[in-house]
Structure 1
Amino acid sequence: MKTAHDLVAAAKTRVQEISIADAEQAIGEADLLLDVREADEYAAGHLSGAVHISRGMLEFKLSSNPALQPRDLKIVLYCKTSGRAALSAAALHEMGYLNVQSLAGGFDAWVAAGKPVVKPQPPSFE
């Protein structure tokens, strides 16, 4: 029986991870930056320009949106620490996407490196 850790480790052998040092260039060249964390994680802060599609809905959302169906889209994915992003990247490869990269260390590594984060401000009722 495989564990989640086993599945992530196997996925990481099949996907291209990019380092934090190379992330800004890869994100700048990407057609789509995907945050595959849960909605509450995304709402608490995310990378600028990131589109939120949670890991559980990824294949369905990409399949149902014609703009996201070209298999030559350049996609960069991230999650909290890189496990869900690796699983997502492996799934996208299986769907036929050709240019998929996962951010090594995920959002936590991005923040630890002092990179910018978008944090939506709650509405003011004053």
Structure 2
Amino acid sequence: MKTALDLVAAAKARVSEIPVSEAEAAIREADVLLDVREGDEFANGHLPGAIHASRGMLEFKLSSTPALTARDLKVVLYCKTSGRAALAAAAMQDMGYLNVKSIAGGFDAWVAAGKPVVKPEMPSFG
């Protein structure tokens, strides 16, 4: 019986994972940057320009959003540490997407490298 870690390892063996040091260039070249974490994770901070599409709803969002249906889109994905992004990239490959990359180490590696993060603004009641 396979575990979640087995599935992630199999996905990572067949998807393109890029190091954080190459992520900014890949994002600039990409058509879309997808954050596949949960909504609360996204709301607490995300990469600039990221679109939220939680891993659990990814295939449905891709299929129902006209701007995301072209199989030649250049896509960069990330999650917290890279497991969900690898699974998401593998699912996108299975759907026929041709140019999908995930960020090795995910959001945590991005933050550890001192890269910019967008955080929601709290309203001022002063």
* Structure 1 unpaired stretches of 5+: none
Structure 1 counterpart SS, 2:34? strand
For structure 2, the residue ranges without an aligned partner over 5 or more in a row are none
Q: CA deviation at 1:121?
A: 1.4
Corresponding letter in the other structure for 1:104: A
Which stretches of structure 1, 4 residues or longer, exceed 4 Å deviation after superposition? Answer: none
Q: Distance in 1 between matches of 2:41 and 2:122?
A: 15
**One-letter amino acid of the structure 2 residue matched with residue 71 of structure 1:** R
Q: Percent identity?
A: 77
TM-score, normalising length: structure 1: 0.98
Partner of 2:38: 38
Tell me which amino acid in the other structure corresponds to 1:44: N
Instruction: Measure the CA separation in 1 of the matches of 2:124 and 2:64.
Output: 36
User: Normalized against structure 2, the TM-score is what?
Assistant: 0.98
Q: Give 1:51-90 correspondences, 5 Å limit.
A: 51-90=51-90
Give the corresponding residue for 2:111: 111
The alpha carbon displacement at 1:125 in A equals 2.5
Given residue 3 of structure 2, which amino acid in structure 1 is its aligned partner? T
Q: Distance in 1 between matches of 2:73 and 2:28?
A: 13
Please tell me the residue identity of whatever aligns with 2:13: T
CA RMSD in angstroms comes to 0.6
Alignment coverage as a number of residue pairs: 126
The CA distance in 1 between the partners of 2:123 and 2:40, in whole Å, is 16
CA–CA distance in 2 between the matches of 1:53 and 1:122? 23
Secondary structure at the counterpart of residue 120 of structure 1:
coil
